[in-house]
């Protein structure tokens, strides 16, 4: 089975840029330590410092589900809820 790729685009609402960035930065180390995590990298848009992209690779759907149930991910959801717009793409490599 091919790994599951997740591209999460998080755009902080005005006045929440620092809070959102700090919350995103906090979730990275614990997420990278998860058994099913292959990649978990945070990026900032050079043209818009309120826009962040998390590039993730997971062993499979179950590993992503386990991640989403972790206390550190739930803390992120609570911290940025209502303070950012979030778009998530879940992808499998074709070739």
Across the range 30-53, mean pLDDT stands at: 98
> Rounded to whole angstroms, how far apart are CA atoms 19 and 36?
27
Q: What is the CATH number of the domain that holds 31?
A: 3.30.70.100
Number of domains within the chain: 1
Percent of the chain whose pLDDT exceeds 90: 95
Q: CA nearest 10: which of 21, 22, 26, 1?
A: 21
**84 strand-pairing partners:** 12
Determine the structural domain holding residue 41 and report its residue range.
4-91
3-state SS assignment for residue 78 = helix
pLDDT in tens, 60-85: 999 999 999 999 999 999 999 999 99
How would DSSP label each residue in 24-77? HHHHHHHHHTSTTEEEEEEEEETTEEEEEEEEEEESSHHHHHHHHTSHHHHHHH
């Amino acid at each position: 089975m091919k790994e599951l790729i997740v591209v999460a685009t998080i755009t902080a609402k005005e006045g929440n840029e620092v809070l959102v960035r700090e919350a995103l930065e906090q979730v990275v180390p614990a997420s990278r330590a998860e058994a099913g995590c292959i990649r978990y990298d945070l990026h900032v848009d050079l043209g818009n410092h309120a826009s962040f992209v998390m590039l993730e690779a997971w062993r499979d759907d179950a590993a992503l589900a386990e991640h989403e149930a972790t206390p550190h991910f739930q803390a992120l959801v609570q911290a940025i809820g209502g303070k950012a717009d979030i778009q998530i793409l879940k992808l499998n490599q074709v070739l």
